[in-house]
Structure 1
Amino acid sequence: MVKCSECKNGAIWVCRCSNVYFCKTHASKHSQVHIEQNTNSYLEKLKSILSDSDKINLQSEIKRRIIILQDYKKRLLQETANYIKSIESLCEIAIKKLDSNLAECYDLLNSDFLDIDIKEKADNFTKTFYNTNKLKKGLSVHSNVTDFYCINLLKDYELIDGTVAAEKIYKDFDLCVQGHTSYVLCVAISRDDKYVASGSHADKMIRVWNLNEKVQEYFLKGHTDCVRGLAFSPDGKYLVSASYDKTVRVWCTLERNLRAILEGHTNYVAGVAITNNSQYAVSASWDTTLCVWDLRTFILKQKLIAHTGAVNCVAIAYDDSFCVSGSSDKTLKLWDIVKNKQICTLTGHSEAISSVAISQNNKIAISGSYDKTVRVWDLEKKALQHIFNNHTDIVRGVAITADGNKALSGSDDNTIILWNLRTQSVIHTFQEINSQVYCVSITNNSRYAVSGSYRDVEVWDINTKSKIGKMPGHTEEVIGAGIFPKKNTVITLANDRTLRIWDINNKSQSRMLTAKAYRIAASLVTNDNKFILSACYDKTIKLWSFDDYAYVNAFGKHTDRIQCIAISQNNEFCISGSYDNTLRVYDLQSFTEIAVLTGHKGIVNGVVIIENDKLAVSGSNDKTLMIWNLNTFSLQNTLQGHTGPIRGLAVAGNEIISVSED
């Protein structure tokens, strides 16, 4: 390989003035000499020839791509055959039904003897209605089918800006990168212990997590106010949610969509529970009532009225014979949900009751209250059994283990306490929590607990009395992402000061990089997938390794925050634009500044590199586009026409697109 005449680095340029070879750094210095001497620079880029090893690697990559395409084609044909078979089957069923109706019509028409029964049958038949409007509209192709057959070759990488990033990643890769962004007010665990559902305050979202894999599988949105209660049906068919939007919603867990909206309450709905036979749900509301809903017909069966204050919580006995509700009127009430009447009232709390749970043997209930206590109730004697008063603030959530021997309570004092219900003592206090605990739930095998706090869904091991960890996901809105299909990797950036790396295949978070309190204006990955570069408001460009995501370096000499960045196609240099009205060119091997491009009279908001790294175009608040010669690092042309600040640039083929406030 030809060496630079000024150093030991490999030469990539030759100046024909004297056939001298230069590296990138010394080529720029040589160009500066020509400028100072007012002579022409004849720099030419050396043509590189692939080495044998590079040829082998390229051929291997092409062969791998052929295998992927052949497999894609095979699967596409198989799925098409299955789809056609399904359509043919539906058509066959419809034709048989129509033929049956036609035969019935001919029988009635050809009947010689018309008695009362035949006349009644004919009258009923003639009143039937066929919706022929569907045929007039025709059978359109659903967008899902169109998307399935849309063959777009994935780029080596794709960069997504803005808040659409999280939903696009979910749509394209079934990968959930966004976590809760507000208080997690409720959690529920499926009967088989596979899934955890969590509901939140300001983001109004329900997120469903795989408890074993510790990944978010999907999310449900539709509530227009905070989600306050959740319950899985024991048969696993439904997830039912209660919300401050005054509705109860039923979600299909298989289809992952809304099944029904149950309306009947006139104020906030604060809690919900489902019978063990999965047929009924009971909701608790601030309108002082409980509603019993039929989950087979999705209609209101009965209202239970007796509380004099907001009803905050409800739990149902495991034999489905009764339920217990807790209210702001400081009482618990037992209800016969077969006869739909009140059984008795339990008194003792001195403040509003926030949560209630019933043991699986239906013998005891525990309640949490604003009076900072957890109370244990004997449901056979209808009397108070014990008071736990170790918490120092409001008790928000309670739960009982399947064997009825232990209980958990979560509080505004930032702790979860594990209680021994037999000895009426504290077993352990979980304190590794950064905020109030709003809810707790226990798996049916009694091994794990799940809690909700500020933005976090956390998992605890009851046996070892330790925290397992938090469910992954950004806790502030995702503002950008990079998708790298070849590496099965997605990189996301959010306002929670983290950069997270995700495995597309495993649908899991593989690493989280926590940043300092600086804002990142833009991020790019080099074309060879070696580095991640970010333009930062702390006046630097920060560099991470794309292989192991390790922090490499920070460099830059801007005097104000950096707004934009561009990387050369050969990955040898980058250009940054800043609030200091300049562009600066940096060598990506030595991280040294090569040149400063001055001329703009306003903030530089966008920059792109074109013409095989020979030219750069920048856009500014000064309403101009400037074209720069990257051989001489000089201004080549200024384009005017916009009447407002230029906010962004993009390259489309041979054209440059500029976006402006005008």
Structure 2
Amino acid sequence: MSKIQVNKLHTLTGHNDCIYALAEGANPRYFYTGSGDGMVVEWDLDNPKDGKLIAKLPHSVYALEVDRERNLLIIGHNFEGIHVIDLNENKEIWSLKLTDQSIFDIKSLGTEIYVGAADGVVIVVDVDQKAVKKHLKLSSKSARVMAFDNDRKSLAVGFSDHTIKIISTKDYKALHNLESHSNSVFALAYSPIEEKLISGGRDAHLKIWNTKSYNLSDQVVAHMFAINYLSFREDGKYFVTCSMDKSLKVWDAESHKLLKVIDKARHAGHGTSINKVLWSSYDQSIISVSDDRSISIWKVEF
């Protein structure tokens, strides 16, 4: 493994339950967390110790997304739907009852919001109309994670039926059905600089897909237990994974070689499952959230 220095900058507390959701703000100095306690909190990387409560909902929050064009925070409220917060005004401006299911992921594109739910449906919401535009019934199992390709023409959706489906954002038609994982897909991200999609899931494997053909080009046994999420550094050279095995791992994005393990024993890491990870585009720190109710901020120097 290469010489990488890791320093834990901060441990942030305040949530009263497992933290499941993590999103970067339109101004990436800020980030947002959502928890099983229904609380959504804004954090400032320049002054991280003081979190600001944005919303308190009756059910768990598994999914958050920021509409960067409008500076809106979209909250996935389990068994209900979405709440939309104007971050300039710090107030809820509308909400929509969408589903009686858990909401696992949300993605925003132009005037549309894509909501992935536990019944295998991706719901497309029109932001201007504040109404449901389309129900895409793509699987009988949960839609767990979504990612846009770099030109925003395709949406990749990972499911608990072990598949990844690639959907056109123009006409919502299915373009590809990727089968290689042996269990639920929880992690998906397109490389910012290469023609590749990386996926991970409950089988603890990383799968690397060539996005020209969507053929499997490589695979790595990456963690002891489920890979819960992954995030690329802004320049596309590295990515980080987080796992139920309580570790973060930093990878070379070109060779898919493991560069660094960040865990409790070596770096005073999380004590339980790490649910989401974000490589900040503000200061290149790594932000992780966990079942242990804490947020960790890491400085990684190559």
TM-score range, shorter chain: 0.7 to 0.9
Q: How does 1:393-472 map to 2 (within 5 A)?
A: 393-402=183-192, 405-453=195-243, 454-471=245-262, 472=266
One-letter amino acid matched to 1:268: S
| Partner in structure 2 of residue 202 of structure 1 | none
| Partner in structure 2 of residue 474 of structure 1 | 268
Give the TM-score normalised by structure 2. 0.82
Change (3 A) 1:224 1:313: same
CA distance in 1: counterparts of 2:300 and 2:117, whole angstroms: 40
CA distance in 2: counterparts of 1:386 and 1:341, whole angstroms: 28
Report how many residues are paired: 267
Instruction: Give the Å deviation of 1:236.
Output: 2.0
> Is 2:71 the counterpart of 1:279?
yes
Bigger proportion of residues as strand:
2
Change (3 A) 1:437 1:266: same
CA distance in 2: counterparts of 1:404 and 1:386, whole angstroms: 19
Q: In the alignment, which of 383, 389, 392 is matched to residue 173 of structure 2?
A: 383
Q: How does 1:240-259 map to 2 (within 5 A)?
A: 240-259=32-51
* 8 Å Cα contact 1:273/1:314 also seen in 2: yes
| Partner in structure 1 of residue 135 of structure 2 | 345
| Partner in structure 2 of residue 152 of structure 1 | none
Q: In the alignment, which of 123, 126, 131 is matched to residue 333 of structure 1?
A: 123
Q: 1:433-469: per-residue Cα shift (whole Å, max 9, x none)?
A: 2221111122232222211112111111110121111
Q: How does 1:120-131 map to 2 (within 5 A)?
A: none
* 8 Å Cα contact 1:273/1:315 also seen in 2: yes
Bigger proportion of residues as helix:
1
Instruction: Give the Å deviation of 1:225.
Output: 0.5
Change (3 A) 1:278 1:369: same
CA distance in 2: counterparts of 1:476 and 1:368, whole angstroms: 26
SS at match of 1:428: strand
- Structure of greater Rg: 1
Instruction: Give the Å deviation of 1:411.
Output: 0.9
| Partner in structure 1 of residue 81 of structure 2 | 289
Tell me, which stretches of 5 or more residues in structure 1 are unaligned? 1-211, 478-506, 510-662
SS at match of 2:267: coil
Q: 1:251-287: per-residue Cα shift (whole Å, max 9, x none)?
A: 1111113342133532110011112247211111212
* 8 Å Cα contact 2:82/2:98 also seen in 1: no
> Is 2:79 the counterpart of 1:310?
no
Tell me, which stretches of 5 or more residues in structure 2 are unaligned? 272-298
Q: How does 1:190-589 map to 2 (within 5 A)?
A: 213-277=5-69, 279-317=71-109, 320-402=110-192, 405-453=195-243, 454-471=245-262, 472-475=266-269
Sequence identity percentage: 17
One-letter amino acid matched to 1:265: L
One-letter amino acid matched to 1:473: H
CA distance in 2: counterparts of 1:237 and 1:311, whole angstroms: 26
The one of the two structures with greater contact order (alpha-carbon pairs below 8 A, sep at least 6) is: 2
CA distance in 1: counterparts of 2:300 and 2:256, whole angstroms: 25
* 8 Å Cα contact 1:228/1:269 also seen in 2: yes
CA distance in 2: counterparts of 1:382 and 1:404, whole angstroms: 24
| Partner in structure 1 of residue 285 of structure 2 | none
CA distance in 1: counterparts of 2:126 and 2:155, whole angstroms: 15
SS at match of 1:254: coil
One-letter amino acid matched to 2:267: G
CA distance in 1: counterparts of 2:150 and 2:103, whole angstroms: 23
SS at match of 1:438: strand
* 8 Å Cα contact 1:307/1:329 also seen in 2: no
SS at match of 2:106: strand
CA RMSD of aligned residues (A): 2.2
SS at match of 1:382: coil
Instruction: Give the Å deviation of 1:220.
Output: 1.3
Give the TM-score normalised by structure 1. 0.39
One-letter amino acid matched to 1:457: L
Instruction: Give the Å deviation of 1:226.
Output: 0.6
SS at match of 1:255: coil
Instruction: Give the Å deviation of 1:217.
Output: 1.6
Instruction: Give the Å deviation of 1:475.
Output: 4.9
SS at match of 1:380: coil
| Partner in structure 2 of residue 628 of structure 1 | none
Q: How does 1:136-155 map to 2 (within 5 A)?
A: none
Instruction: Give the Å deviation of 1:347.
Output: 1.7
Instruction: Give the Å deviation of 1:403.
Output: 5.2
Change (3 A) 1:398 1:474: same
Instruction: Give the Å deviation of 1:350.
Output: 2.2
